[in-house]
Amino acid sequence: MIIPKSVCTFVCSNNNFNRMDKYKFGVRFRLEQRRENPKDKNSLLIETNLPINADITFCGKRFFYFTGCRIDASKWDKNLQVVKKNNFNARGESASEINARLRRICVAVESVFRRLEINNIPPTKINVRDELKKELNEESMSRKTLIEYYKMLVDIREKELKDTPNRAQWKQGTLTKHKTMIRHLEGYKRQLYFEDMTDITLSKFESYLIGKGLSNSYVHKSMKDIKTFLNWATQMGYNKILHYQNYQQKFKNETITENNTNLFALTSDELLILQRLDIKRQSIDRTRDMFLFCCSTGLRFSDARKLKWTDIAEDCIDVVTQKTNQHIRIPINKRIKSIIDKYSSFKLEFVFPSISNQKYNDQLKELGKLAGFDEVWTKAIQRGNEVERISLPKYEFLSSHVARRTFVTDALRKGWQPEAIRAITGHTTSKMMMNYVKMDMETKKEFMGMLDVDDEQESVFDFNITDEERITFGIPEKNEYLTIIDKKIDMATLHLAFLFQSRGELTKSFEYACKLPDSMKVEYMRTVITNK
């Protein structure tokens, strides 16, 4: 019988082996058949990046051995059992490289059965597989799965946290979420390799997470975590498959565009209610203090909890943030000072008594209930294409992060420039900062009110200016003056600032001066200083 060279079929004879007159074994190569939905036999077959398996048969037994190579179905010659010439797989391996590997496996199988025959060892699936690994020098170098590499990264970062916490690249929260992601991947499919991370696989994994009832927001962040791992693996040289870099997530979190539905912040009046609230329980009182402190400084809970007395000097809080390692300095105002002074007598290393984030959030809800924050807030959660809206009393949504959002929102309400807010919060861009802003209806009304323009320009004649005052400021008669300021509104504002300054009404004078362009502000200040 003539056997084609490309078909690796071997026949061995041994009249004495296991009292058999003839002993045969063979090897054939095939592409593993996979469907888009493994549970549905009618679903479409996958045509790309398929594993090439070696089917090894002997003594009426059969098992398959993964060759370590993959190829697209269109590039595979089923009859000759080889990769067609001038083709490459997803890892960049050429047809000649893959076919050489297949020939090597053929030779190795022949050697294994010859050795078993010489040593009079009956072949089994287990010993044939083990001997084949030895022959191919793969006994101790089985290919690592994607999850094994992911665990390698997590182990490295965990060791950094333990040995050099101040220089560790991840915080404990980041480590925890990556461990969670590994569990999700294990639940989806343990035997994943880098070449599996195609658009199809990533899309299916995203659908898998949504199918578990996880929100689009959570899934969106989780897919970013996977990209973080894959980027590391690529930089380290473990991964050469770059399909993931261009993957576009299919499930968007549309709730973030719904008028900041899920951004919760307290108003200035509500902060005042909390500040004046009579609280009997010491634990709730301390939670109130830390929350107001965070609302006043913009610090995260993690930074407030770790704040030391040595971080406070010269009327300033000087810290390096836990999450982003940013160095920020925050001036201490009256509210902040009144809170920290309350704890100065405790003589502890940290300003605030220790409390876990979970306990803190639980007590915030109790605090909000005591304060009477019963107004209904609505939270939207999107899972896939479905949006669920949950309406509960405001206190049920109070959490540590509400404080930071409250600081940003309150500062904007009071006219802070975005750059000033970012200098306190440590946000690197205005876009990041605006993710914290809760624009409720009252705030919108305030800003819309700023656009209102009176039909008539306000002037000194609306405040009973005397002839003596008019002459002092060089202001002509009323009719002539009103004609002049009709086209020079800033001049009318400057005269109002001067008028109230001369009358000793400095607050009003300053209010008008603040409305002036910079050049006129300088003129105003020079005149005031000269008159002194």
Rounded Cα–Cα distance for residues 377 and 267 (Å) = 14
Tens digit of pLDDT per residue, the chain (532 long)?
233 344 444 333 333 333 333 457 899 999 998 887 777 888 888 899 899 999 999 988 999 999 989 999 999 999 999 999 999 998 888 999 999 999 999 999 999 998 888 888 889 988 898 899 888 876 544 568 899 999 999 999 999 999 998 888 888 889 999 999 999 999 998 888 888 888 888 989 999 998 898 888 889 889 999 999 999 999 988 888 888 888 887 776 555 544 444 567 888 889 999 999 999 999 999 999 999 999 999 999 999 999 999 999 878 999 988 887 888 899 999 889 999 999 988 878 999 999 999 999 999 999 999 999 988 877 777 777 777 777 889 889 899 989 998 988 888 878 788 788 888 887 766 666 565 555 555 555 655 555 554 445 688 888 899 998 888 888 998 888 888 887 777 888 889 988 988 888 888 888 888 888 877 888 888 777 766 5
Question: Which of 425, 447, 469 is the endpoint of a domain?
Answer: 447
Whether residues 425 and 316 fall in one domain: yes
Residue 235, domain member (yes or no): yes
Beta-strand relationship, 76-77 and 82-83: antiparallel
Residue 367, domain member (yes or no): yes
Whether residues 484 and 407 fall in one domain: no
Whether residues 169 and 122 fall in one domain: no
Whether residues 383 and 282 fall in one domain: yes
Rounded Cα–Cα distance for residues 113 and 58 (Å) = 10
Measuring CA to CA, which residue among 142, 250, 144, 244 is closest to residue 192? 144
The range of the structural domain enclosing residue 519 comes to 460-531
Residue 370, domain member (yes or no): yes
Whether residues 225 and 346 fall in one domain: no
Whether residues 172 and 306 fall in one domain: no
The CATH number assigned to the domain holding 320 equals 1.10.443.10
Q: Report the largest interatomic distance among the alpha carbons of the chain, rounded to a whole angstrom.
A: 134
Whether residues 163 and 117 fall in one domain: no
Residue 7, domain member (yes or no): no
User: Three-state SS across 242-296?
Assistant: CHHHHCCCCCCCHHHHCCCCCCCCCCHHHHHHHHHCCCCCHHHHHHHHHHHHHHH
Rounded Cα–Cα distance for residues 419 and 362 (Å) = 33
Whether residues 484 and 503 fall in one domain: yes
Residue 247, domain member (yes or no): yes
Whether residues 372 and 419 fall in one domain: yes
Whether residues 300 and 437 fall in one domain: yes
Question: Which of 112, 135, 158 is the endpoint of a domain?
Answer: 135
Whether residues 119 and 218 fall in one domain: no
Question: Which of 447, 474, 503 is the endpoint of a domain?
Answer: 447
The total domain count for the chain is 4
Indicate the pTM of the whole model.
Answer: 0.52
